[in-house]
Amino acid sequence: MFLSFEDQQLDLKGIEAVIFDLDGTLVESEPVWAEAKKYIANREKVHVSKKVFLAYEGRSVADFVKEVIAPVNVPLIEEAIIERALSRYDNNVQEIPGASDLIKKLSKNGFAVAICSSAPKKAIEKCIKLLRIETCINTVVSTETLIRGKPDKFPYVETLRLLNVSSKNAIVFEDAAAGLTSSIAAGIKTVCVGSHIELHMFPCKMFANSISDIYLVEGM
């Protein structure tokens, strides 16, 4: 069995688990988080450039608050961003085409499926329902509950531990620099599904602009 995109193929022989990032990989939710961050930053009278917003894609809300808005009152400001984003989820977050179909096919073919995301647990749960993949997910890791988030390798190391799978027997789908740094540092074969040209500098096993470009095929 292979993952395929144009002239690229990734052999899944020996792979036991497939781990997915969420925002930007499975669902188009980054605009919702960007709006919430911008709204609360303006409320706190902090100007944030587009470049800085992009730099924090794939990272936790707590990191953004501590490092960009203010090093004090982090829990309160973080909660305000999360509440604003979640209030807009139902009408503004969409599945990236093909995401749920790929997960369902992988699960049906015996692969364990996990989500490892910087999003809060409530956001992950909303997206799992949106994608209708509740019965396909074996493990969920939200970095809001971890001592270190992406780009540190710890979130993916913890996901492997919960799956009871070694790094050589897993693959990851990621779309942002922070996530790619994390998964590659954890020693996991990584598929890049991001459109930013700088992501091609990472040593990924496959590159595509979107998860919708990639297909699961049997044999070659």
DSSP 73: S
At 71-82, the pLDDT tens digits run 888 889 989 999
How confident is the model over 186-196, as a mean pLDDT? 94
Give the strands of the sheet with 206-207, arranged side by side.
139-142, 112-117, 17-20, 170-174, 189-192, 206-207
Distance CA 147, CA 144 (A): 8
- Angle in degrees, 0-180, between the axes of helices 99-108 and 121-131, rounded to the nearest 10: 80
pLDDT of residue 72: 81
Q: Where in the chain are the domains?
A: 2-28+94-217, 30-92
Comparison of pLDDT for 67 and 161, the residue scoring more:
161
Provide the β-strand partners of residue 5: 8
pLDDT of residue 118: 92
**pLDDT at 213 exceeding the cut of 70:** yes
At 26-37, the pLDDT tens digits run 999 888 998 999
pLDDT of residue 55: 84
CB atoms within 10 A of CB 132: 12
% of the chain surpassing 90 pLDDT: 74
How confident is the model over 153-180, as a mean pLDDT? 97
**pLDDT at 17 exceeding the cut of 90:** yes
pLDDT of residue 219: 62
User: Considering the domain 2-28+94-217 in this protein, what is its CATH number?
Assistant: 3.40.50.1000
